[in-house]
Structure 1
Amino acid sequence: MTDELMVQVTAFADAASAGDPGTPVPTCPDWSLRDLARHLGRVHRRVAETISGAGDRLIPHDQVADPEPPVAPDEVATWLLAGGAQVVSAVTSAEPERRVAGFSGPARVSWWARRMLHETVVHRYDAEVTVGIEPWVGVGPDLAADGLAESLSLLDTFGERRAALAGSGETIHVHALDEASCEWLITRGAGGVVVEQRHAKADVAVRGPAAALFAVLTNRCSVDAVPGGLGTVEVLGDGAVLRDWLRVSGL
């Protein structure tokens, strides 16, 4: 996983350093390309320092070492690669099952490794569409499916804390067609969200290649505007249920 993380950090760094730092990021309203680079670089450093340190508290973003990307665009990539390397070093130096600070309590080091991989993949998409590069070239179905599963697990984890995710029993079936057993049922109950990995009839089904679904369900693109290289997404059933879910579920 750490090798794949550096592949994705490199792709992000290439894109984030290829354009005007002031260019608005269409998938992250109110952020410029520099803001996006700053965010991911700080996240990497924050997690690396949390794992490498005592691990009993999540280091605040504004307290990480070297928190600002260089002014010179040609140095931004080096700064981003350094942050990614810090994560890899921290993860590989720690026991995978060791518990350190997480978002809402202790989290395993292996959980953070996966979280950082997919945080980077998603923001790679943001950077690439900002500078006009075809997004996610080389992101295979296995990586995209795992990213989709990880993003859904976060919703399951935080569902009870996010009132907007609750509902009155609406159901969404997600099916990645190019990866075996990649099917989920999302149920918006009164007490929050429940995500189950199984096939089931639902109010609405959304299916397609894993990468296309990953882009749609992380609100990187709409169902009818998936970049051509990722494939197409099909919606069956009550499209309003899916639209409302996408409205409230962005991470």
Structure 2
Amino acid sequence: MTPLPHDRYCDEIAHQVGLLRAVVTSGADLSATVPTCPDWSLEQLVRHTGGALRWVELMVRTRARAEVPEDRVPSGEGPKDVGALDAWLDETGEMLVAALREAGPDAPVWSWAGLPTSGFWARRMTHELTVHRADAALAAGHPYEVAADIAADAVDEWLQIVEFAQRTVPDDAAGELRGPGRSIHLHATDGTWGTVVELTEDVIVWRHGHEKATVALRGPLTAVLLAFYRRLPLDSPELEILGDRELLEFWLERATFG
């Protein structure tokens, strides 16, 4: 599917960084475990997210043609002083947005997904932030919402990642998502958006729209997004599952980054 405009991603990165900073400065316990990433505390989540942004900023700014080791990223782990995390995040976001805007969407930059452009990284970091900000909000007990165009594009990008893993990583669990005659319908009940994912003998295919499928996942778009990224349990009251729940669970267990 066609990505959003480059400037839209840049704007959203700035917006999501601001929302993540608001969690950090809200008085939330930064030592608390993140329920959706139980190996991390909230502080570790913030450092991971900021470090990823700085890593991408360095690659985009230098037009890296090969992967840059993360230990070469200046201030990539953030300040030792927890109280300085907010300022570090603020600086990080400004640096990345400036680098992406200067590069535009078509500058050659190494990536892991066969799309070696700065535009790939603008999209990837938008959704890295969108999902990890959800992790932070859930850990802090804050409400979470995301713009409809960003949520829909996050689903598209996730499907492209799964398809990429099926094509290029033979041992990835996504390879098990093969076999005809099965489909998943994602249905936003607060708008017109919907997507149908078909499992095939080769790689998944998908299209926007509403069709009868083997299983349907229904709910507000933000809730569907979070469930599809395994951030919201399928039994959540916002969601409704119609049809073969086991297929949806099978998908969620195997849809990975590779």
Instruction: Map Cα deviations across residues 174-197 of structure 1 (whole Å, 9 max, x no partner).
Output: 1224444x3322233343433333
Instruction: Map Cα deviations across residues 67-124 of structure 1 (whole Å, 9 max, x no partner).
Output: 1222333211111121111110111111322221111334322221121111101100
Query: Given the alignment, which residue of 215, 218, 227 partners 1:204?
Result: 215
Query: Given the alignment, which residue of 65, 70, 87 partners 1:56?
Result: 65
1:158 aligns to 2:165 (yes or no): yes
Instruction: Map Cα deviations across residues 214-242 of structure 1 (whole Å, 9 max, x no partner).
Output: 1100000112226xxxxx22211111111
Query: Aligned equivalents of 2:166 and 2:191: distance in 1?
Result: 26
What's the CA shift for 1:198? 4.2
Residue aligned with 1:34, SS: helix
Query: Aligned equivalents of 1:153 and 1:178: distance in 2?
Result: 24
Instruction: Map Cα deviations across residues 153-178 of structure 1 (whole Å, 9 max, x no partner).
Output: 22222223264222323321112244
Gaps of 5+ in 1: 227-231
Query: Aligned equivalents of 1:179 and 1:5: distance in 2?
Result: 24
CA contact (8 A) 2:185 2:211 kept: yes
Structure 1 vs Structure 2 CA RMSD: 2.0
Stretches (4+) displaced over 4 A: none
What's the CA shift for 1:250? 4.5
Normalised by the length of structure 2, the TM-score is 0.85
Instruction: Map Cα deviations across residues 20-41 of structure 1 (whole Å, 9 max, x no partner).
Output: 3321111012111122112111
Residue of structure 2 equivalent to 1:229 = none
Which residue type is aligned with residue 168 of structure 1?
Answer: G
Which residue type is aligned with residue 208 of structure 2?
Answer: Q
Gaps of 5+ in 2: 1-7
Percent identity among equivalent residues? 33
Instruction: Please list, as runs of the form range in 1=range in 2, the aligned pairs for 1:184-203 lying within 5 A after superposition.
Output: 184-203=195-214
Residue aligned with 1:133, SS: coil
Residue aligned with 1:107, SS: coil
Distance change >3 Å, CA 250–CA 233, structure 1 → 2: farther
Query: Aligned equivalents of 1:135 and 1:117: distance in 2?
Result: 16
1:249 aligns to 2:258 (yes or no): no
Query: Aligned equivalents of 1:176 and 1:153: distance in 2?
Result: 20
Query: Aligned equivalents of 2:124 and 2:113: distance in 1?
Result: 14
Query: Aligned equivalents of 1:90 and 1:220: distance in 2?
Result: 30
Query: Aligned equivalents of 1:32 and 1:250: distance in 2?
Result: 22
Query: Aligned equivalents of 2:103 and 2:234: distance in 1?
Result: 40
Residue aligned with 1:92, SS: helix
